[in-house]
Amino acid sequence: MSLNPIFGQKCECFNFEWQGASVSGRYIPNAAITIPISIDDLPYEFNMQLDLGAVESMFYGNSIKPYFQLHAELTNKIDSTQTFYIQSQENVKLRNVNLKMGEINFENIEVGLFSGFGDTLTIDSVKTKNSKHIGTIAPDVFQSKIVIIDYPKSEICIADKIPRKYKNLNYQEFTLEQGRIKLPFEIMGKTEMLMFDTGSSMFSLITTQLNAEQISDKIIVDSLQITSWGEEYTIYGLNVVSNVKFSGENLPPALVYYFKKPIYDQFFEQEDMWGITGNSYFSSKTMVIDYGSNKVGIK
């Protein structure tokens, strides 16, 4: 953690790491963002994926199981009266959990327990000193805060007020539903809402096949087999030929991807949004997210 004075104000900051992944035989260096995490007073190093497109922060059941076996005080925090759903599965939560990101404390929060998910860790693996990937950090922990993602520096800062350094950015209002951000993009001259999803890190645009074909040359130039919450999908990429803008600026050339799955078309329709955008468009920028005032600025 660094305590950085920014023109008389302070942000608490910590570094994140880009995680690479092999997708359809291709290595993607910036496939996910992970952040360092401490849980309560447990003497271990953990990391969790930053997924601002998720709803609930959660531990993965397969990965945290040996820590339950070793630490009854953690097991005792399971509260079966508090539940959440993911992948049509009901799961319980832990209550009064203390998470620390770098040196920033998030105290007495609820964290979901996604049963049967994640890499299986053993008692023996707990004894090794390397950081263990234990779950997902969703936007529920950041509500009312300022979150600054400095992509070039691989740094995240948390503040209660926008630092003066970022006061004069061209802020855009966003809508917030279940803690998830929907940003106003300009696509083909129309304002369209896209969910900002750091969990879809490698993609600039994901949408329906119809939308993808409307802004492209309709020629499939890429296909990838990806995994989302344990389920595999094929996703298809087309070259964008229409102007795509955010905050009045043209965004760089990109591919637009779509799934040939009606469930995704239904999801976009239910959420009343054009599609999803990830980190890719903003990877050379700093993003200032004001969860208290529902506005975002890009520098």
Residue-wise pLDDT tens digits, 243-292: 999 998 899 889 999 988 777 788 888 888 999 998 989 989 999 999 99
Instruction: Indicate if the pLDDT at residue 202 is higher than 50.
Output: yes
Q: In this structure, are 135 and 266 located in the same domain?
A: no
Q: In this structure, are 132 and 264 located in the same domain?
A: no
Establish if 152 belongs to a structural domain: no
Q: Which of 125, 142, 159 is the last residue of a domain?
A: 142
Closest CA to 112 of 64, 170, 160: 64
Q: In this structure, are 195 and 293 located in the same domain?
A: yes
The percent of residues above 70 in pLDDT, for the chain, comes to 95
Instruction: Indicate if the pLDDT at residue 294 is higher than 90.
Output: yes
Q: In this structure, are 15 and 138 located in the same domain?
A: yes
Residue 5: what pLDDT? Answer: 38
Q: Measured between alpha carbons, how far is 174 from 113 in angstroms, rounded to an integer?
A: 29
Instruction: Indicate if the pLDDT at residue 173 is higher than 80.
Output: yes
| Beta strands 46-50 and 26-39, pairing class | antiparallel
**Please, which pLDDT band fits residue 229 given cuts at 50, 70 and 90?**
low
**What's the token pair of residue 132?**
């263990």
Q: Measured between alpha carbons, how far is 162 from 167 in angstroms, rounded to an integer?
A: 6
Establish if 162 belongs to a structural domain: no
Instruction: Indicate if the pLDDT at residue 148 is higher than 90.
Output: yes
**What's the token pair of residue 284?**
């050379």
Residue 51: what pLDDT? Answer: 94
Establish if 103 belongs to a structural domain: yes
Residue 230: what pLDDT? Answer: 62
Q: In this structure, are 78 and 173 located in the same domain?
A: no
Q: In this structure, are 85 and 217 located in the same domain?
A: no
Give the pTM. Answer: 0.89
- How confident is the model over 57-98, as pLDDT tens digits? 999 999 999 999 999 999 999 999 999 998 888 999 999 999
Closest CA to 285 of 146, 156, 152: 152
Of residues 250 and 29, more confidence is placed in: 250
Establish if 40 belongs to a structural domain: yes
289: domain CATH number is 2.40.70.10
For 48, the domain range is: 2-142
Residue 196: what pLDDT? Answer: 94
Q: Measured between alpha carbons, how far is 153 from 155 in angstroms, rounded to an integer?
A: 5
Q: Which of 124, 142, 160 is the last residue of a domain?
A: 142
Q: In this structure, are 84 and 212 located in the same domain?
A: no
Q: In this structure, are 121 and 190 located in the same domain?
A: no
Q: Supply the mean pLDDT for the chain.
A: 89
Residue 224: what pLDDT? Answer: 84
Q: In this structure, are 6 and 119 located in the same domain?
A: yes
Q: Measured between alpha carbons, how far is 162 from 144 in angstroms, rounded to an integer?
A: 12
Establish if 9 belongs to a structural domain: yes
Instruction: Indicate if the pLDDT at residue 55 is higher than 50.
Output: yes
Residue 2: what pLDDT? Answer: 36
Establish if 136 belongs to a structural domain: yes
Establish if 47 belongs to a structural domain: yes
Residue 26: what pLDDT? Answer: 77
Q: How many distinct structural domains can be found in the chain?
A: 2
Residue 65: what pLDDT? Answer: 95
Q: Would you mind telling me the total number of residues written for the chain in this entry?
A: 299
Q: In this structure, are 41 and 137 located in the same domain?
A: yes
Q: In this structure, are 294 and 226 located in the same domain?
A: yes
Q: In this structure, are 8 and 63 located in the same domain?
A: yes
Establish if 161 belongs to a structural domain: no
- How confident is the model over 106-136, as pLDDT tens digits? 999 999 999 999 999 988 888 888 999 999 9
Residue 1: what pLDDT? Answer: 33
Q: Measured between alpha carbons, how far is 161 from 145 in angstroms, rounded to an integer?
A: 8
